[in-house]
């Protein structure tokens, strides 16, 4: 048996004041035709990263509108997650390829996990590369199989992608954030659906300025001084060292600025601890650089507080499937300076809802512009919140998934 993820209840009605009655009624109407359908989401982890955050909201809302939906997590040891982290990096452009013995580890764990699919489902949604081999090993466990890709496949290591593609071709449909992520050779069985954030989760609910300030003070932040913040996993593609470079350039002109690098350590990311230590060393004991993770008691509320308190949110990614931390910051009316990569330009209209950058120097220039012009910061923040409300909240994502189910004849 795969590990079942325990979930609380959610009500779509609670989102009406945020997304409008029209969308809520459209979702309810669409869901009537799908009542009772059995859907299973499968992912690599229930903790850390955007996939799990999405599913903690999406699965309960699918249940609320009448579907019988579950979320399960595959089982794996370090040897498996070492391979899948290498696969993740390779699919996002790392030149290092996966050896035949490593592919054998990947295939063996997928075959083992496939045996844990105990029921017959109307649809199984497999998230990301780690469990991509499930369908090949258990095709009769579900009437429909959907692969959901959350990573940037625009410049993949072609050797790795070539070995993964035969597994993906077996799926009835695959879903991507952007058209440019879709690999050649999938015969048109693809759907483009950007992800979304849950505005009612503890990470995104409204915090008073006093509460945000109080929380940040507990971690040594001087709330009277400017604060830059990046929230991300500790991962080479998130470029935390590039953020530190940006901070140092900003401080040359604004001596009282502070930086917080806030992240969580995911169970499917063995590389994370090594990169956390490299980032810590790169900060070189600077008292104005706070590097925090979930082992410092930084949970959803604390992340919310840092994002809400920050004068500028930085997301200096080098690759980015979408960048939900950008969405979160925009929802909190924060000005964002972010890498012009992956799904970030879907959210940020340069100069309108934030700034897009391609180097530490450019990031520092834009950060100084925002810190030096409170009216600019307010304008960017307000525009970003409205764009998020319109396009990137969970009810819209729920509607899109119902559309996928309808079109596939669920």
Q: What is the pLDDT of residues 28-51, one digit of tens each?
A: 999 999 999 999 999 998 877 789
pLDDT, residue 269, reads 63
User: Is it the case that residue 1 has pLDDT exceeding 90?
Assistant: no
pLDDT, residue 396, reads 98
The mean-pLDDT minimum among 118-132, 292-306, 346-360 falls in 292-306
User: Is it the case that residue 310 has pLDDT exceeding 80?
Assistant: yes
pLDDT, residue 110, reads 97
pLDDT, residue 139, reads 93
The DSSP secondary-structure symbol of 146 reads E
DSSP 3-state of 67: coil
Question: Structure tokens of 354?
Answer: 């934030």
Mean pLDDT rounded to a whole number for the chain: 94
**190-192 and 312-315 beta bridge pairing:** unpaired
Length of the chain: 410
pLDDT, residue 70, reads 97
Rounded-to-integer distance, Cα 180 and Cα 343, Å: 10
**pTM, rounded to two decimals:** 0.92
Closest Cα partner for 65 from 26, 93, 97? 26
Q: Please state the rounded mean pLDDT for residues 312-339.
A: 96
| Sole residue written with tokens 């810190």 | 371
Rounded-to-integer distance, Cα 159 and Cα 166, Å: 12
CA R_g for the chain: 21
The count of C-alpha atoms lying within 13 angstroms of the C-alpha of 371, restricted to the half-sphere facing its C-beta, is 26
Res. 266 pLDDT band, cuts 50 70 90: low
The DSSP secondary-structure symbol of 96 reads P
Domains of the chain in start order, with CATH, are 3-196+393-407 (3.40.50.2000), 209-391 (3.40.50.2000)
**190-192 and 227-231 beta bridge pairing:** unpaired
Cα–Cα distance list, 43 to 35, 63, 65, 132, 365 (Å):
24, 18, 22, 9, 39
46-71, pLDDT tens digit by residue?
877 789 999 999 999 999 999 999 99
Select the highest-mean-pLDDT range: 157-161, 271-275, 335-339: 335-339
User: Is it the case that residue 338 has pLDDT exceeding 70?
Assistant: yes
Res. 270 pLDDT band, cuts 50 70 90: low
162-207, pLDDT tens digit by residue?
999 999 999 999 999 999 999 987 877 899 999 999 999 999 999 9
Res. 233 pLDDT band, cuts 50 70 90: confident
Question: Structure tokens of 144?
Answer: 């429909």
Res. 263 pLDDT band, cuts 50 70 90: confident
Q: Please state the rounded mean pLDDT for residues 102-129.
A: 94
pLDDT, residue 370, reads 97
Cβ proximity of 184 and 223 under 8 Å: no
Contacts of 25 (CB under 8 A, 6+ apart): none
Q: What angle do CA 18, 22, 28 make, to 5 degrees?
A: 100
């Amino acid at each position: 048996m795969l590990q079942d993820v325990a979930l609380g209840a959610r009500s779509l009605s609670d989102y009406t004041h945020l997304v409008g009655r029209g969308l809520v009624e459209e979702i309810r109407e669409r869901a009537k035709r799908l009542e009772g359908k059995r859907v299973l989401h499968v992912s690599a982890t229930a903790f850390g990263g955007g996939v799990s955050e999405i599913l903690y909201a999406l699965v309960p809302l699918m249940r609320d509108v009448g579907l019988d939906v579950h979320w399960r997590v595959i089982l794996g040891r370090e040897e498996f997650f070492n391979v899948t982290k290498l696969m993740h990096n390779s699919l996002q452009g790392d030149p290092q390829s996966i050896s035949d013995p490593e592919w054998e580890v990947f295939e063996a764990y997928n075959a083992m996990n496939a045996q844990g699919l105990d029921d017959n489902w109307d649809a199984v949604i497999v998230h990301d590369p780690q469990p991509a081999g499930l369908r090949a090993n258990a095709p009769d466990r579900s009437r429909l199989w959907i692969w959901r890709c959350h990573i940037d496949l625009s410049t993949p290591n072609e050797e790795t992608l070539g070995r993964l593609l035969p597994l993906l071709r077996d799926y009835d449909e695959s879903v991507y954030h952007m058209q440019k992520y879709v690999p050649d050779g999938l015969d048109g069985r693809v759907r483009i659906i950007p992800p979304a954030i849950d505005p009612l989760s503890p990470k995104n609910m409204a915090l008073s300025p006093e509460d945000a300030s109080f929380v940040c003070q507990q971690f040594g932040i001087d709330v009277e001084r400017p604060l830059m913040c990046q929230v991300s996993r500790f991962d080479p593609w998130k470029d935390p060292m590039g953020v530190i470079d940006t901070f140092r350039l900003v401080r040359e002109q604004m001596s009282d600025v502070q930086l917080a690098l806030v992240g969580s350590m995911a169970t499917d990311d063995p590389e994370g601890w090594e990169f956390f230590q490299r980032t810590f060393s790169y900060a070189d004991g600077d008292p104005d650089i706070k590097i925090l993770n979930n082992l410092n008691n930084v949970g959803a509320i604390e992340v919310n507080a840092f994002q809400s308190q920050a004068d500028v949110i930085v997301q200096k990614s080098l690759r980015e499937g979408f960048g939900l931390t950008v969405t979160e910051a925009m929802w909190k009316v924060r000005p964002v300076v972010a890498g012009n990569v992956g799904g970030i330009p879907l959210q940020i209209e340069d100069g309108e809802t934030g700034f897009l950058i391609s180097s530490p120097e450019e990031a520092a220039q834009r950060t100084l512009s925002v810190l030096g012009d409170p009216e600019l910061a307010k304008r960017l923040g307000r525009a970003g919140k409205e764009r998020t409300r319109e396009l990137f909240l969970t009810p819209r994502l729920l509607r899109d998934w119902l559309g996928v189910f309808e079109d596939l004849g669920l």
